[in-house]
């Protein structure tokens, strides 16, 4: 491995349709990122069989065999004590020990959270990691955190989320001066729970105040008026799953309407290009890859049911954070407070 080369450790066994979807996703990713080193962790027999069976064009990679399997039903004690030769455990262990590296998995969220904290630890000055991801909006996309890592938070935790979100957004959109908002039941200063008020006060007392637009309501998330949306993990996770359910409901009903009659099918053809643009804008594949931000390392969680294209975007996210030094930017921002 050449000095300074980006290396991504991949859990090849996690999620639905693995290892094929992981391997195909890596093939798609490597078409553009030819200099990135890939290391697959998992059942080497299954990995090589899938590569050969599907004639996958993967290069610059290694396979490290693991035997233990982590399921969604495994307890914390089981994960920590009995699954040390799993693809998640070994992949995260590698990512921590090697510079310019990160980890990507579609496996158990609980296992990834637990083992990421175990192996990587936290950035000094950050108390808790947050699940951070892109969500589409009317103008382009917003960044939202936390999406499920922390059910109960303090105002200080939310302030730290805002700080990390600012650093994240500065990497993915260097030209834009981002706006920051806190998800709440109203926009008035006296609305919401005490920890939300405390978070707002902390943001207004920091260098982030020039970016802060105050509280935002859930119905404004897709407006594009707020670039970085801060929330506790419980609220954020419910919001995200509700949005996904409503989106699927609308798309499913539109599909039924346009297939209902010949006239409807003709109508579809007339606006097909516009509908395709809309579908591409809200396509969950291109937003795949939630970062466990705040860790002293790079760990990215892909959807368990992600297809190969979606998994390639999770790899792209990981590569981007390594290349642009996400954690170094967070550390620098903490020192400037």
Predicted TM-score (pTM) of the model is 0.86
Query: What is the DSSP secondary structure assignment for residue 209, as one 8-state letter?
Result: G
**Does 333 fall in a domain?**
no
* DSSP for 53-80, written as a single string: HTT----SEEEEE--B---TT--HHHHH
Question: Does residue 210 share a domain with residue 161?
Answer: yes
φ/ψ region of 42 (left if φ > 0, alpha if ψ in -120 to 50, else beta) reads left
Q: Using 50, 70 and 90 to split pLDDT, how confident is the model at 281?
A: low
**Does 164 fall in a domain?**
yes
Question: Does residue 311 share a domain with residue 233?
Answer: no
Q: Is the pLDDT of residue 298 over 70?
A: yes
Q: Is the pLDDT of residue 2 over 60?
A: no
Query: What is the DSSP secondary structure assignment for residue 295, as one 8-state letter?
Result: B
Q: Do 212 and 227 touch, CB atoms closer than 8 A?
A: no
Please count the structural domains in the chain: 2
Q: Using 50, 70 and 90 to split pLDDT, how confident is the model at 127?
A: very high
Average pLDDT over residues 104-131: 93
In this predicted structure, which of 32-41, 47-56, 256-265 has the lowest mean pLDDT?
Answer: 256-265
- Segments forming the whole domain that contains residue 10: 1-123+296-324
**Does 332 fall in a domain?**
no
Question: Does residue 278 share a domain with residue 252?
Answer: yes
Which residues on adjacent β-strands are paired with residue 37?
A: 7
Question: Does residue 132 share a domain with residue 112?
Answer: no
Question: Does residue 93 share a domain with residue 15?
Answer: yes
Query: What is the DSSP secondary structure assignment for residue 138, as one 8-state letter?
Result: S
- What's the mean per-residue pLDDT of the chain? 90
List helix spans (H) across 105-261: 109-120, 155-172, 194-204, 233-258
Q: Do 262 and 176 touch, CB atoms closer than 8 A?
A: no
Q: Do 135 and 142 touch, CB atoms closer than 8 A?
A: yes
Q: Is the pLDDT of residue 274 over 80?
A: no
Rounded Cα gap, residues 66 and 89, in angstroms: 9
**Does 34 fall in a domain?**
yes
Q: Is the pLDDT of residue 173 over 90?
A: no
Backbone angles phi, psi at 63, to 5 degrees: -125, 125
Rounded Cα gap, residues 96 and 116, in angstroms: 9
Burial class (CB in 10 A: 0-12, 13-18, 19+), 23: buried
Question: Does residue 135 share a domain with residue 212?
Answer: yes
In this predicted structure, which of 122-126, 198-202, 212-216, 256-260 has the lowest mean pLDDT?
Answer: 256-260
Rounded Cα gap, residues 55 and 72, in angstroms: 31
pLDDT number for residue 23: 97
| Percent of the chain at pLDDT exceeding 90 | 61
Rounded Cα gap, residues 247 and 239, in angstroms: 12
Burial class (CB in 10 A: 0-12, 13-18, 19+), 329: middle
**Does 173 fall in a domain?**
yes
**Does 16 fall in a domain?**
yes
Question: Does residue 309 share a domain with residue 255?
Answer: no
**Does 140 fall in a domain?**
yes
Tell me the pLDDT tens digit for each residue of 56-94: 999 999 999 999 988 888 888 888 888 899 999 999 999
Q: Using 50, 70 and 90 to split pLDDT, how confident is the model at 318?
A: very high
Question: Does residue 138 share a domain with residue 118?
Answer: no
Going by C-alpha positions, the residue among 279, 332, 288 that lies closest to residue 312 is 288
Question: Does residue 281 share a domain with residue 132?
Answer: yes
Question: Does residue 171 share a domain with residue 83?
Answer: no
Chain centroid offset of residue 232 CA = 16
Question: Does residue 136 share a domain with residue 118?
Answer: no
Bond prior to 207 in cis (omega within 30° of 0): no
pLDDT number for residue 316: 94
67 Cβ contact list (under 8 Å, min separation 6): 43, 85
**Does 178 fall in a domain?**
yes
Q: How far is the CA of 82 from the CAs of 62, 69, 70, 77, in angstroms?
A: 25, 10, 10, 8
CATH number of the domain at 217, please: 3.40.718.10
Tell me the pLDDT tens digit for each residue of 300-315: 999 888 899 999 999 9
Question: Does residue 300 share a domain with residue 286?
Answer: no
Average pLDDT over residues 223-252: 87
pLDDT number for residue 283: 67
């Amino acid at each position: 491995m050449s000095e300074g080369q980006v290396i991504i450790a991949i859990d090849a066994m996690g999620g639905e349709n693995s290892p094929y979807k992981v391997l195909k996703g890596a093939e798609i990713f490597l078409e553009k990122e030819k200099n990135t080193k890939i290391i697959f962790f998992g059942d080497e027999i299954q990995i090589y069989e899938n590569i050969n069976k599907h004639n996958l064009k993967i290069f610059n990679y290694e396979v490290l065999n693991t035997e233990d399997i982590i399921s969604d039903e495994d307890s914390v004690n089981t994960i920590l004590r009995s699954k040390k030769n799993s693809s998640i455990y070994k992949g995260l262990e590698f990512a921590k020990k090697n510079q310019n590296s990160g980890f990507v998995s579609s496996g158990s969220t609980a296992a990834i959270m637990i083992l990421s904290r175990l192996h990587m630890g936290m950035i000094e000055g950050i108390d808790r990691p947050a699940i951070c991801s892109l969500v589409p909006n009317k103008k382009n996309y917003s960044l939202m955190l936390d999406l499920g890592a922390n059910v109960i938070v303090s105002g200080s935790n939310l302030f730290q989320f805002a700080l990390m979100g600012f650093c994240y957004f500065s990497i993915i959109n260097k030209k834009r001066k981002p706006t920051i908002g806190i998800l709440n039941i109203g926009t008035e200063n006296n609305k919401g729970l005490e920890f939300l008020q405390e978070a707002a006060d902390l943001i207004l007392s920091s260098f982030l105040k020039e970016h802060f637009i105050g509280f935002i309501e859930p119905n404004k998330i897709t407006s594009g008026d707020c670039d970085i949306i801060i929330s506790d993990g419980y609220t954020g996770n419910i919001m995200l799953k509700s949005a996904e359910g409503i989106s699927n409901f609308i798309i499913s009903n539109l599909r039924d309407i346009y297939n209902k009659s010949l006239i409807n099918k003709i109508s579809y053809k007339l606006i097909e290009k516009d509908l395709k643009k809309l579908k591409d804008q809200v396509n969950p594949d291109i937003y795949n890859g939630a970062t466990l931000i705040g860790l002293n390392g790079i760990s990215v969680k892909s959807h368990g049911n992600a297809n190969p294209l979606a998994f390639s975007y999770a790899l792209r996210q990981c590569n981007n954070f390594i290349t642009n030094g996400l954690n170094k930017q967070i550390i620098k921002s903490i020192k400037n407070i």
